[in-house]
Amino acid sequence: MISTALTKLLGIRVPVVQGGMQWVGLPALVAAVSNAGGLGILTALTQPSPEALRQAIRETRKLTNNNFGVNITLLPTINPPDYEGYARAAVEENVRIFETAGNSPGKLIKFFKSQGCIVLHKCTTIRHAKSAARMGVDIISIDGLECAGHPGEDDMGGLVLLARAAQELNIPYIASGGIADGRGLAAALAFGACGVNMGTRFMCTKESPIHQNIKDKIVAGTELDTIHIFRTLRNTSRVYRNKVAEEVVRLENRPGGAKFEDLRELVSGARGRLAYETGDSDAGIWTAGVAMGLITDIPSCQELIDRIEKDAERIIDGLARMKLPDDRDATKA
């Protein structure tokens, strides 16, 4: 068993979190992850209203007795959501673990902390991580450039971000972006992280609510099959490289560039949702990270988490036994 600050704080068995994913973080997947020993997270904005989120929380509770969380992401949206309403509804439904992400989370974090909740906050820079720590979050999710969705604008890979987190942070942190297997978990622990967050890997599980065709696209895809859109709008997002995403980037790069209004119809979440529902991978924009290159199957959440745990333990054990060459060994050789 890999016992860390994360497993202790969240009351979970394996230090693996299924991060918020728009249109994917639904009760069946969340409960499957929590039942398998990780932390499942419901995505608040996937629900059309705070009331619908209440129902989703109740539905999840029927499927698992284990802890799960709720994600609230604060990023530009076409229809501004009632963030506070979602937050209140989840707290009233006795959710005690929240994942926050995006811009200006201070008010939300303050509310959750005033209600005695545990907050994981996603950060793509050390500056933001330190600021979130000062706001009182319990765990930072360090999100490297490899991640699906919004990696920030600094293009900092996970290796350096995690090593910087080890230097700078005095609260627990987990590694997010580019992680899909036990090797990733072992590496994250070596970087001083107390666990990992995975998104794309969980999209491609038996219990994931997306269409089989999209799961097959992820299995067939490589680390080269994602693309950054919204670069020019400073709202960069890593998505699956399909016809729609390539058209968005073409419009952004044309002389004079593109305003959001020029892209709105192509990028709307409602269209992306159709891809997940119908299996038409060109129906709209859908999110995927470069971890896609590591994904070769569609296991159940239990099979996946068991495998990650076992592989990480084997790797950590192997490293512990490794006789690292010192100067004398090198001279003998």
Interface residues with ligand NAD (CB under 6 A) are: 20-22, 43, 45, 71, 73, 75-78, 149, 230, 233, 235, 237, 260, 267-269, 272, 287
Beta carbon of residue 77, minimum distance to ligand NAD (angstroms, whole number)? 4
Choose between 86 and 230: whose C-beta lies nearer to ligand NAD.
230
Choose between 195 and 269: whose C-beta lies nearer to ligand NAD.
269
Residue nearest to ligand NAD (CB): 269
Beta carbon of residue 329, minimum distance to ligand NAD (angstroms, whole number)? 47
Beta carbon of residue 269, minimum distance to ligand NAD (angstroms, whole number)? 2
Give the distance, in angstroms, between the CA of residue 175 and the centroid of all CA atoms in the same chain.
9
Q: Could you give the angle at the alpha carbon of 265 between the alpha carbons of 218 and 212, nearest 5°?
A: 25
Beta carbon of residue 149, minimum distance to ligand NAD (angstroms, whole number)? 5
Choose between 29 and 267: whose C-beta lies nearer to ligand NAD.
267
88 touches 116 (CB < 8 A): no
Choose between 186 and 276: whose C-beta lies nearer to ligand NAD.
276
Choose between 247 and 303: whose C-beta lies nearer to ligand NAD.
247
Q: Strands 237-240 and 226-229: what pairing? A: antiparallel
Distance, CA of 322 to CA of 333 (rounded, Å): 17
Beta carbon of residue 52, minimum distance to ligand NAD (angstroms, whole number)? 14
Position of tokens 């971890």?
Answer: 291
**3-class SS at 122?**
strand
Distance, CA of 139 to CA of 258 (rounded, Å): 37
Beta carbon of residue 288, minimum distance to ligand NAD (angstroms, whole number)? 11
Distance, CA of 56 to CA of 261 (rounded, Å): 32
Distance, CA of 8 to CA of 112 (rounded, Å): 19
Beta carbon of residue 154, minimum distance to ligand NAD (angstroms, whole number)? 18
Choose between 98 and 230: whose C-beta lies nearer to ligand NAD.
230
Residue 298, CB-side half-sphere exposure with 13 Å CA sphere = 18
Choose between 4 and 287: whose C-beta lies nearer to ligand NAD.
287
Q: Reading across the β-sheet that carries 97-102, which strands appear in turn?
A: 16-18, 196-198, 173-176, 139-143, 118-123, 97-102, 68-74, 40-43
